[in-house]
Amino acid sequence: MYRHTETLELLSPAGDMERLIMAVTYGADAVYLAGREFGMRASAANFENTALEQGVAFAHAHGVKVYVTCNTLPREDELKRLPGYLEFLQAAGVDALIIADLGVFALAAQFAPKLRKHVSTQLGVINSATANFLFDRGADTVVLARETPMEDIRKIRENTPEELRLEAFVHGAMCVSFSGRCLLSNYLTDRDANRGQCAQPCRWKYHLMEETRPGEFFEISEDKGTFILNSNDMCMIEHLMELIDAGVSSFKIEGRMKSSYYTAVITNAYRHALDAAVRGSPPDPVWICETEKVSHRPYSTGFYFGYPGQHYGTSSYTQTADIVAVVEECDAEGNAVLTQRNRFFSGDSLELMNPETTPVPFVAEHIYDSEGNELQDTHRAMMRFRMRLPFPVPQYTIIRKNRLEDNIHA
């Protein structure tokens, strides 16, 4: 087994401040986020400068690192804005930059020399020669291309310095492209995927129209359906020990566009699974089950074990539970103040989730509004209400409703 020179890292997405808080609360060792420019998820909320400083302060107060994505491919007219932004990120106390462009890499060395440089998956690192080239020029970490097989990761680790960290994606969306470099969105919608504006046309349902038969649409399929470019999601929660053995140091969850609920649930599941893997144990089935409770396409293991089995023949997502509330505060008796996220009714079967326990089922009883009036349901979006929980819980505990429960008001 490869012997790691430092603690393994669980890296979670933070699309905005709420998601950053959830990632930190539910067990991330580091988070990655973007400012308003130069990040590959332009339609995420992202962080303006003051919020970014606040996010760094919150994360650092909890012992969590912050990596900022500068992984678009900037055009010539954008470069003049980059030095000032890099200087700001260094002054804000960011721990590392995630970079996909060699020019940005050089500018980062000049204008933010104190920040570590992580090479984005967008650059397509898939062999030790590229990894060594980047390490010799100051890279601290390379985020391996998602197309890298497990056996190749092992060989890359054997042929690179121990000081170079290898990072790999373990969970989330995949796309039909090479390391996220795709022109389809640009061609079809004039939204450049390499500048963070992907319209995801690979998820669309395509038909063929013959020139002399306008208005007649024919499926482009035999046995795989019309979604000819659509991918499954990745889930490697059952294979973390193999990734550790291959030499991966940082385990990355995709999802800056996903909800804070997704961030909390998946970070929590992988936190427990990674801790078990370090002890040499497989994940408890409860944490595998947790990955089904967020919105997702069918899971696969990507390219890690050969042919990916990536193709998914519909546009549907599955999810077995919905968040209904988040705890704002709770006293020693379990009396909690919560914020509504989805409607539920008194008498519904619910589930309590936080980092300290496995999910705990309970029945909602005696819901009260902020004036003390008893309610039959949480009928207003984002309303604050009070409810007795089975035991005292910390802030940011999640209350959810299992879709499989036979609740009369479901």
Q: What is the total residue count of the chain? A: 410
236 & 366 share domain: no
Q: Can you give the CATH number for the domain in which 289 is found? A: 3.20.20.70
Residue 4 located in a structural domain: no
51 & 122 share domain: yes
199 φ, ψ (degrees, to nearest 5): -90, 0
Q: Rounded CA gap, 176 and 180, in Å?
A: 8
Q: Where are the alpha helices (DSSP H) in 172-213?
A: 184-189
366 & 272 share domain: no
Around Cβ 103, how many Cβ atoms within 10 Å? Answer: 13
32 & 68 share domain: yes
Range of the domain at 392: 321-402
pLDDT for res 203: 67
Q: Rounded CA gap, 394 and 382, in Å?
A: 19
Confidence of residue 217 (pLDDT cuts 50, 70, 90): confident
Indicate the range of 12-16, 22-26, 65-69, 175-179 predicted with least confidence. 175-179
Residue 353 located in a structural domain: yes
Residue 372 located in a structural domain: yes
* Mean pLDDT across 117-122: 94
Residue 49 has pLDDT above 80, yes or no: yes
Confidence of residue 200 (pLDDT cuts 50, 70, 90): confident
H or E segment and range at residue 399: strand 398-402
Residue 57 has pLDDT above 50, yes or no: yes
147 & 209 share domain: no
Q: What's the mean pLDDT when you consider all of the chain?
A: 89
Split into its structural domains, the chain has a count of 3
